[in-house]
Amino acid sequence: MDAGDDPYAVLGLAPDADAAALRRAYRRLALRLHPDKDPSAAAAFARLQAAWAALGSPEARAAHDAARAPAARAVVWMDVPLRAFAAGGAGARSYPCRCGGAFEIFDDEPCADGDLVPCDGCSAHVRLVA
């Protein structure tokens, strides 16, 4: 599968779809894209087969999900301007999280517009904006 082909996108589903939804989407698309029905859809059918290979079994899906880029798995809570981070000690700036933890950035690490900052207390992330 090409690096740009996200198996969930190929199936037209969100990553939190259950196994039954994956199976239904695969079967629906396999019927529509099968080369016996539409010879011009051979490439799309091959992408569908690769997506199913990555997600079709619980073991393969778990391995795929574990290997996804952290940014793809990140739960972005909100966009936060860099100026909203309050100065703290030891060259760090922080922004409070709803869980009681904090999003921290450090002065010695470059930050750019669009960077994701993880909370130190939960799985939420904020996206830095100008």
**Each residue's pLDDT tens digit, 40-77:** 989 999 999 999 999 999 999 988 887 876 656 566 77
**Percent of all residues in the chain with a pLDDT value above 70, rounded to a whole number:** 91
**117, pLDDT greater than 60:** yes
The CATH number fitting domain 71-129, selected from 3.20.190.10, 1.25.10.10, 3.40.50.720, 3.10.660.10: 3.10.660.10
pLDDT mean across residues, the chain = 85
Name residue 95's beta-bridge partners: 103
pLDDT above 60: residue 3 = no
- The H or E element spanning position 125 is strand 124-129
Are the CB atoms for 113 and 130 separated by under 8 Å? Answer: yes
**Does the structure show a pLDDT above 60 at 1?**
no
Calpha distance 79→125 (Å, rounded): 9
User: Would you state the pLDDT for residue 110?
Assistant: 81
Homologous superfamily of the 7-68 domain (CATH): DnaJ domain (1.10.287.110)
